[in-house]
A and B are shown apart, each in its own frame.
Chain A
Amino acid sequence: MSARREVWITGAGLVSCLGEGVEANWQKLASDNPPAAHDEKTFAPYVTHPLAPINFDLQIPKKGDQRQMELWQRTGVYAAGLALENAGVKGNADILDTMDMIIAAGGGERDVAVDSAIMSGIKAAPNPGAFLNERLLSDLRPTLFLAQLPNLLAGNIGIVHGIVGSSRTFMGEEAAGVDALRVTFERVAAGQSNISLVASSFHGVRWDLLLVTELGRNLLKAPFKPVWDRGEHGGLAMADMGAGLVVESKEHAEKRGAKPLARLVAIQSDRNRRKPGEIEATLAAEWTAIEPKVKKNQAVVISGASGLEPPTSAEKAALAKIGLPVRATGSHIGHGFDTQFLANIAIACETLRQGKLFPPCGSGDTGNAPAEISQVAVTSVGNWRGEGLALIEKI
């Protein structure tokens, strides 16, 4: 085996309730005090973080392509385009031809009108089975299936932006986002890939996903509170967001004269059965693995805490032991499941560039930024399973 290669992040794209672009999101975070970009009315009593208005034409020029996608896919394709643009590879057919891609995605939105009509009509139907078949066959739009399949986010990124090296889609909420970046990091470090896009999108501000989340009694009800302070059971504020990162070997980036946003130093992912104390133990073990590489007087933490309990308190306890300054993005941009971790890596890259932290919000946002920020640790404690930790640093 050849020696491990250095891995750089050379592009980042982000869209959220705060707007589009990593820098714009960061500026909003810096002034979002108290947090304001949430909606308590549309899905009352639940708190949501709907996507800021986006002109999709800017990254998805063909209306025909936009029509083939629902919001989930459009958001992801848009964020991927921002990341490619930021990395300076957008439209570069030579690079895109061999570029790899790992996507973290669940599924797209259902047609709630069709579903509602079927649920409403089934009781009166003389033959319920035949009724279901007939309604589905005549009411489902053929293109909707393609707008729902998780791997079709990758498919659409390929079609719109021209990435055709390879694509793989990981499913499984927050852990999928962490593993998408981890596997990419390891592949690039080992020479199995030279340049990859890691991207994700989540459209949580919709009834069908509110439903599956509330089956676990997990939605945040108004009034809004910071993720750290949502009471005994906590609550998730469902969000819309899309994030993309271009990850490549130092060698590949230097050859094409790309400027790095950050070096990806380490990334850990693991799981446990979530018995009391297990989240803290997994995070502590992940921290121990990366600790030798941490410059403690120049490092801060960007947390992906979801607001759900007990995971959020467990993370808070684990971070208190580590002792670095902490900021959670969830209080501002809501919770975006598969996408939160990659969004936070993008925000961490911008934190390195700004050299500052955005203001604290809630009891777990502790500490002040050191005089120089050269490293950011990014956490991901899944709302249900999966714990991840990454370390990036300034180059």
Chain B
Amino acid sequence: MAEYRDKAGRPVVAITGMGLITPLGTGKEDNWKKLIAGQSGITTINRFPIEGLRTTIAGTVEEGYEPGLAPSVHTERIAKKVGEEAIAESGIGSKGNFPGPLFLAMAPIELEWPHRFDLAEATGANDNVTYADLVRVSSQERFAPYYEMAKYGIVGENLADHFGTQGSPISLTTACASGATAIQLGVEAIRRGECQAALAIGADTSVTPESVVRFSLLSALSTQNANPAEASKPFSKNRDGFVLAEGAAALVLENLDHAKARGAKILAIIPGSGEKSDNFHRTRSSPNGKPIIGCMLNAFKDAGITPEDVDYINAHGTSTPENDKMENTGLLAVFGERAPKIPISSNKSMIGHTLTAAGAVEAVITTMTIQHQRIPPTINHKIPDPGISLDVVPNVARDAKIRTAISNSFGFGGQNACLVIAGDVN
């Protein structure tokens, strides 16, 4: 029998299991300790030569990594690990049989440079290797493993096999909002009554030479290489860009009735979410902040709450000059006079920016923040930006009474998402 319904008469969506891997460590408990201690997971890159790069720091995940591993295989490994942690906590289904669909936020997949070099070597061409040459040798048996490795659906398909999720696995991207979008798709499917549960995973292992260069060319990365642990400083005056990082998070989303009926522990509720696209520019947000504001207001409307109900904000807080300024503008517009009184912190100060995984990673940390009634700090906050009037929970974790929190994600390409997460029903 349906017992729980939200104000709009829809099924209520609960979180009943979570898993987390970040540069800080593997498993959500290990991560939580380090987050609360204000530790940084950012280091000098030692995975590949850094000579000639403008940015030489990142937050890498060593879990599941081995030299020469294709990023898509690393992504799959850590996605499996966080999925297993989440499903074990939830206790849902049985081994290899998850009773719902998979929504996977991940980075695009390509052949990588080591593969191209292998193929180039096989062409026998000495000084002028063309793609036509590569194609000519590509049907050799020894390159067959590269075929599936470069398939866009490979990670989702392998995870669907591993977890036994139902139906077609959906691999998606909304850039830096992807993790939140995966959760949103799961929430919507449960509300539609299509399924009782959904597995939302975000996983990103993009620390490769080409990714570092590409983000460098957009002037998006911090170049404060000397002290890696201090480079990510969201909302500080001397912030100069984000720090690329790897990570993964998984959430078991479940119809609250279904979860209660099987006696599952309810970690939190997702009362609603919102989106609003920005078409001002490919990498910059509208100067008036309208899309960011609209995104949060849409989330409040969907969740049936008002700005007054929000006790904590998990910031997008990338540490780029532009994002943090616009997030401040948006929050002031949405929360008005109350804005400086609501604690807001950026997990990215410690973890870095896990790109397509960030929305899921931060949803997990937001939920833990509510569970522990304790807020992880924004570290490296030594020189406040006078243009930013928010309470960024500087440097030291803090106890707080939090019933309802929001987690913001704003992406390149104008994709903005906001999740509302609450500790209990109503």
Contact = CB atoms under 8 A, between A and B. Distances in A.
A256 to B, nearest CB: 21
Contacts of B50: 133
Interface in A171-205: 171-173, 175-176, 178-179, 182-183, 186-187, 190, 192
Given A106-B152, A107-B110, A154-B415, A190 B146 contact: no
Q: How large is the interface on A (under 10, 10 to 19, 20 to 34, 35 or more residues)?
A: 35 or more
B53 A137 contact: yes
B160 interface: yes
Contacts of A166: 275-277, 415
B213 A136 contact: yes
Contacts of B189: 186
Interface string B101-121: 000001011110100110110
Interface in A31-57: none
B172 A132 contact: no
A354 to B, nearest CB: 31
Contacts, number: 243
A321 interface: no
Interface stretch (B36-44, B321-329, B406-414): B406-414
A360 B246 CA distance: 51
Contacts of B261: none
B88 to A, nearest CB: 25
Nearest to B9: A1
A140 B168 contact: no
B236 interface: no
Contacts of A207: 130-132, 134-135
B217 interface: yes
Given A130-B51, A130-B52, A145-B218, A384 B151 contact: yes
Contacts of A386: 153, 168
A169 B160 contact: no
Contact of B131 (A146, A175, A211, A216): A211
A159 B279 contact: yes
Given A130-B52, A168-B181, A155 B117 contact: no
Contacts of B10: 1
A100 to B, nearest CB: 8
B138 interface: yes
Contact of B151 (A140, A173, A192): A173
Given A133-B52, A164-B279, A269-B168, A169 B127 contact: no
Interface in B265-280: 275-279
A176 B171 contact: yes
Given A120-B127, A140-B213, A107 B156 contact: no
A269 B167 contact: yes
Contact of B413 (A120, A155, A187, A214): A155
A133 B161 contact: no
A152 interface: yes
B168 A270 contact: yes
Interface in A114-135: 115-116, 118-120, 122-124, 127, 129-130, 132-134
B216 interface: yes
A182 B168 CA distance: 11
B214 interface: yes
A142 B167 contact: no
Contacts of B279: 155, 158-159, 162-164
A165 interface: yes
B116 to A, nearest CB: 6
B283 A178 contact: no
Given A159-B282, A164-B278, A165-B276, A173 B153 contact: yes
Contacts of A384: 148, 151, 153
Nearest to A130: B51
A371 interface: no
A164 B172 contact: no
B48 A150 contact: no
A28 interface: no
A154 B116 CA distance: 29
A89 interface: no
A356 interface: no
B155 to A, nearest CB: 9
Given A107-B108, A146-B282, A127 B51 contact: yes
Given A133-B49, A136-B210, A115 B116 contact: yes
Interface in A77-129: 101, 106-107, 110, 112, 115-116, 118-120, 122-124, 127, 129
Contacts of A273: 161
Given A1-B9, A271-B167, A386-B153, A217 B139 contact: yes
Nearest to A143: B282
A203 to B, nearest CB: 14
A216 B140 CA distance: 9
Contacts of A127: 49, 51
B278 A214 contact: no
Contacts of B134: 119, 207, 211
A137 B51 CA distance: 11
Contacts of A296: none
A151 interface: yes
A207 B138 CA distance: 12
Top 4 closest pairs, chain A to chain B, by CB: A129-B49, A155-B413, A207-B131, A172-B153
25 contacts: A1-B11, A107-B108, A110-B110, A112-B131, A129-B49, A132-B49, A133-B52, A133-B53, A136-B209, A146-B282, A149-B175, A149-B413, A151-B412, A152-B282, A155-B412, A156-B282, A164-B278, A166-B275, A169-B172, A171-B109, A171-B171, A207-B130, A216-B148, A386-B153, A388-B168
Given A106-B108, A171-B108, A172-B153, 14 more contacts: A1-B192, A68-B282, A122-B117, A133-B52, A136-B213, A149-B108, A150-B173, A170-B171, A171-B172, A183-B170, A183-B185, A190-B188, A215-B150, A271-B167
